[in-house]
Amino acid sequence: MTFLRGSIVPLVTPFRNGQFDEAGLATLVDWQIDSGSHGISVTGTTGEPSALTTDERERVIRAAAESVNKRVPFVAGTGSTHHDETLRLTRFAEKIGADAALVVTPYYNRPGQEGLFRHFKAVAESVSIPIILYNIPGRTAVNLEIDTVARLRDACKNIIGVKESNKDFEHINRLLGKLGRDFLVYSGIELLCFPVLAIGGAGYVSATGNVMPREVARLYDLVAVDKWKEAQDLHYHLMPLNDAMFIEINPVPAKTALGLMGKISPEVRLPLAPLSAANEAKLKDVLAKYNLIEEP
């Protein structure tokens, strides 16, 4: 499954005057592809899915698929805390031609491992497109255990990988050790993008790619041609920006940065709030050091 490797950028969902900004999304998609991103994803964590109605999520997924237009792989975020909504969105993603669906562990209700197995199995069996599991225990309050991932891979041939937004690097090592490096494991933690590649991961889904897509994609490209020292240097070069993207809750800093760069309006929806003035000043300093904006 080589076509789903590399930097799969989790795009923000741009809003303008409180409404989904479809033209803004199309502009972001073009910029990402022109910058060398290997894939595009929408309505994952960075895309504020819980701030969108189900109809809006379908509209964002359709608009993104049309903008990408098969130029690179397109991965639709379809997970929800509601099982039937997840089924609906995943079937919709297949209908509009998504290359894969990214399905997050249900949040808030904290299901056990058997519940997670049955949920993901039912979702995978409802479609024929590839399914990428999404484990983000810091936000969902549940961890998708390695044995459960293995059960799902064995039960459903279209479950082809997992995005691990898991700071436990030992967990990721043991996951790859058990499932093998043909199983596609993506880092969802910015500081682990390079380490995950080093142990056989397939790529990463990095919020920082919203702001510096060319450099974030280059990290994978360097590793792919065994330029490990250059990749290591780039890993450390990106670290201050990676940190700045989480100065407050994602995607607030990324949207603020894109607003300062003139790409989109930086609007977020409640209950998220705009970046504080103090943190915006810090973000501006970081962006200026990367020549993304002029010195404040």
pLDDT for 3 equals: 75
The catalytically annotated residue of 70, 107, 134, 236 is: 134
Per-residue pLDDT reduced to its tens digit, 152-174: 999 999 999 999 999 999 999 99
- Report pLDDT for 81: 95
Per-residue pLDDT tens digits for 251-272? 999 999 999 999 999 999 999 9
Check whether 224 has a pLDDT greater than 60.
yes
Q: Is 255 noted as a catalytic residue in this protein?
A: no
Q: In 141-276, which residue ranges form alpha helices assigned H by DSSP?
A: 146-155, 169-179, 193-198, 213-224, 228-244, 252-260
Which position among 163, 255, 263, 284 bears the catalytic label?
A: 163
Q: Report how far residue 194's alpha carbon sits from residue 175's, in angstroms, rounded to the nearest whole number.
A: 17
Beta strand spans in the chain (E): 6-10, 15-16, 19-20, 39-42, 74-77, 100-104, 131-135, 159-164, 184-187, 203-204
CATH of domain 2-227: 3.20.20.70
Calculate mean pLDDT across residues 77-105: 98
Q: Is 178 among the residues known to form the active site?
A: no
CB proximity list for 106: less than 8 A, separation 6 or greater:
79, 80, 81, 82, 83, 86, 116, 119, 140, 142
Q: What percent of the chain has pLDDT over 70?
A: 99
**pLDDT surpassing 70 at residue 1:** no
Q: Is 74 in contact with 40 (CB distance < 8 Å)?
A: yes
159 forms beta bridges with 131
Helix (H) or strand (E) holding 122: helix 113-125
Task: Of 256, 193, 221, give the one whose Cα is nearest residue 35.
Answer: 221
**Res 2 pLDDT > 90:** no
| Residue 48 pLDDT exceeds 60 | yes
Q: Using CA of residue 10, residue 15, residue 18, residue 22, what is the dihedral sign?
A: negative
- 107-114: which pairs have CB atoms within 8 A and are 24 or more residues apart? 107/81, 107/139, 107/140, 107/141, 107/142, 108/81, 108/140, 108/141, 109/81, 110/140, 110/141, 110/142, 111/142, 113/144, 113/145, 113/147, 113/148
